[in-house]
Each structure stands twice: as C-alpha cells, then as structure tokens.
Amino acid sequence: MSYNKIIKELSSIYDEKSMDTFVTIYFDGKDNKFLQRREKAIMAVLEGEERENFVKTMGDIKEFLREKIAENIAIFASHRHDYFKIINIPTKVKNALIVDSSPYIRPLAELTDSWGSSTLILLNSNHAKIFSVSYGEMEEKKRLSAHIMNKHKKGGCSQARFQRLRKESIHAFFVKVTEELQKFADENVIIAGPGQAKYEFKKILPKNLQEKIIGVVDVDIGDEHDLLEESLHIMIEKEDEKKSEMLHHLKKEILRDGLATHGIDATLQAVRNGQAEVLFVEKGYKLRGWICEHCQQVMQTTSDECPYCHGKISEVDVIEEIIEFAERTDAKIEFTSNVKNLGHVAALLRYK
C-alpha cells in the first residue's frame, strides 16, 4: 500500500465518543527516554476509560518494540478499537507521542509532500531495469534482456541486412520494455542509460508515457547509485516547479476573487465541504482550537459545549483537523512557507 493510501485510510478513522482513544507514535528507535517522559505526562492527565485504554494500547506498543528493533517508524494504535498499524519510514523522524480521537497524520503527510515518487527506466539496446523510487529509496520492479547481434560476421548476411535485422531486434526489445513500463509507470518517469539507446527508446513511447517524462539521465547501465542521486535531484526540482506554479495560480485566483480561499475559518469550511482541490499549509504552523466530539465541528474559541449540537468539546490542533478533512475529501496537500501572509492556510477550490 502506498503512503498516500495509508494516509487516506488513517484520515478516515476517528472516535466520535472519545477524544483520547488513538495513540500515535513517531519514533527514531533510539530515544527510549522520550517515550517514557511522554507516557508519564499523558498518564498524569488521563482518567477513567481513556486512561485504561491508553495503558492497554501502550502495552501493545511496548510488546511490539520489545520483539522487534525498529528505527524510524510510525505506530497508530487503539486497544479499544483493536487497531494497530506499523509504518516504516525511510528517513529520520522527529519523535512524537500523541493521544487524540484519530491518528495524527501531519508528519506523514509532510513526508509525502517532501518525497515525491517516480518510475525509472535504465536501459541500453539489450538490457533494461524498471525501478520505483519513493521516499528516497529505489526498488527494482522488473528486469528484461534480449539477445541482440553486436558484430557482423563475414560470409553471413550483408552489412546492410545485418544492420536492418539488428535495428528490428532492438525495436522489438524496446516495444517489450514499453509494455512493461506501462504496467509500473507512476505520474513521473525518468529515462536513463548510456549512449543513444535511451533517446531512441524515448521516441517510440506512446503519448501517455511521453507526457510523464520529467528527465533523461546519462549514466552507465550498472551505476544505480548515481542514477538514484540524479533522479532525486530531478524529482525535487520538478516538485518545486509544480508547487511554484500552483502558488502562482492560487494568488491569481485570489486577486480575481476566483476559485480560491485563504485564512483558517474559510479554508476549514472549504475542506470540510469537499470544495478544496489543493490545500496549502504553512510548514510547522500549529493552532490551538477545539472540536466537538459528536458533530466534528472545529472552533478556534472555547466554550462549555458545542454551539451547534451542545456536545462535548476537546482541545485539538486546528491545522491537523484541516489536514484530515482534506485527506478525507481527496484534496492534494502542499506544505510551504509562502502562505503565512494568507492566514497560514489557503486552498484552490473545485467550486464555490
């Protein structure tokens, strides 16, 4: 399952009856004292059923950590809901232990925004490897090869016929590679390899694959390390370019009072209603607020009860709630430092 699908699943989970049900841990696997400090602090404020559930949930988590040495993981668990999910994260994480009515997804969402995904095709005239690149790691998906005549033997076919047969063999191999690439291709494709083969391969690709190509890399067929480094560089540049274009579009829509909104209240309303196509969130920004445990209304001011349904309210990070609503309604989420002056959050809209 991809990280985007995992985040989507996590965003749909919440407890309507209690605000202190799900335990989320982001853990580097080293600082056990951090977990002990946070567990002690949480135990000091929880009471009744919430405290009992936390103790049992932490018991499940500790049992897992005792049995398996794990570094850079995320754990989402609730003993009450019989829920326990482990996610391995291929980069260093900042330690966190959070108790809430739903899994805390923001760090995972930020990671997904920082690390794009792509498909790499490394090939020459008779060998090809297809890789998936995600979160800074490269995984081989398919390996193909073909027997291609490389030398013309005297006494056999003519030089011209030999070249024609060789060209036809290479073309047939490239067609086969294209068929496999269609099965694995992400929204971004990078073609790599030595010499001219990669350019000849690019020419025969169908339109749908041509449109996905974000780079062509000159690299030796066996140099996968350099390929990964160069590919990550291309991916980062492409993501920065796309983000810059979307921010420019956002500003244009705001200027003409078009399909855009900004500020906490307006953006919260838009993502809650499913209007947001792209949500922009200021990196690192948090905002104290409250949520109704019954109707899920989010508020920046507190009171004794929900002003909408008179249900019980609990403290939350408003930005986390906005992110969760965005995930539930299939909005794309972009983390940036360029929306501070727009009220820390903004959105391009599907409709008004």
Residues 15-55 pLDDT 10s? 766 667 899 999 998 888 999 999 999 999 998 888 999 99
Q: Is the pLDDT at 232 greater than 80, yes or no?
A: yes
Q: What does the pLDDT average to over 287-298?
A: 82
What pLDDT is attached to residue 196? 92
Residues 36, 92, 212, 324, Cα dihedral to 10°: 20
pLDDT at 251 over 60: yes
Element counts in the chain: helices (H) and strands (E)? 10, 16
CATH 3.30.960.10 spans which residues of the chain? 1-114
Q: Rounded CA gap, 271 and 212, in Å?
A: 29
Please tell me the predicted confidence (pLDDT) of residue 85: 94
Higher pLDDT, 100 or 281: 281
Residue 305 has which token pair?
């009860």
Confidence of residue 223 (pLDDT cuts 50, 70, 90): confident
- Name the residue among 107, 109, 115 with its Cα closest to residue 24: 107
* CATH fold of 1-114: 3.30.960
Mean pLDDT calculated for residue range 98-117: 86
Does 151 have pLDDT greater than 60? no
Local structure of 211: helix, strand or coil: coil
Least confident range from 21-25, 106-110, 140-144, 301-305: namely: 301-305
Average pLDDT value for residue range 266-289: 94
**CATH 3.30.420.60 domain locations along the chain:** 116-239
Model confidence at 153: pLDDT above 60: no
Cα distances (angstroms) measured from residue 194 to each of 82, 123, 183: 52, 8, 24
Span 53-106, pLDDT tens digits: 999 999 999 999 888 767 889 999 999 999 999 998 877 889 999 998 889 999
Sign of CA dihedral 153, 159, 164, 167: positive
Rounded Cα–Cα distance for residues 278 and 210 (Å): 25
List the one residue out of 277, 313, 281 whose CA is nearest residue 295. 313
Please tell me which of 166-180, 251-265, 278-292 the model is most confident about, judged by mean pLDDT.
Answer: 251-265
What pLDDT shows up at residue 136? 72
* Assigned CATH topology for domain 116-239: Nucleotidyltransferase; domain 5 (3.30.420)
pLDDT > 60? residue 154: no
- Long-range contacts of range 257-263, CB-CB < 8 Å, 24 or more positions apart? 259/348, 259/349, 259/350, 259/351, 259/352, 260/346, 260/347, 260/348, 260/349, 261/346, 261/347, 261/349, 262/339, 262/342, 262/343, 262/345, 262/346, 262/347, 263/342, 263/343, 263/345, 263/346
Burial status of residue 146 (CB atoms within 10 A of its CB: 0-12, 13-18, 19 or more): middle
Q: How far apart are CA 331 and CA 325, in angstroms?
A: 9
| 309 vs 253, more confident | 253
Task: Enter the pTM of the model.
Answer: 0.76
Q: Which residue has the higher pLDDT, 348 or 114?
A: 348
Classified by CATH at the fold level, domain 259-352 comes out as 60s Ribosomal Protein L30; Chain: A; (3.30.1330)
Cβ neighbourhood burial of 34 (10 Å; 0-12, 13-18, 19+):
middle
108 vs 266, more confident: 266
Distance of CA 247 to the CA centre of its chain: 19
- 215 CB neighbour count, 10 Å cutoff: 18
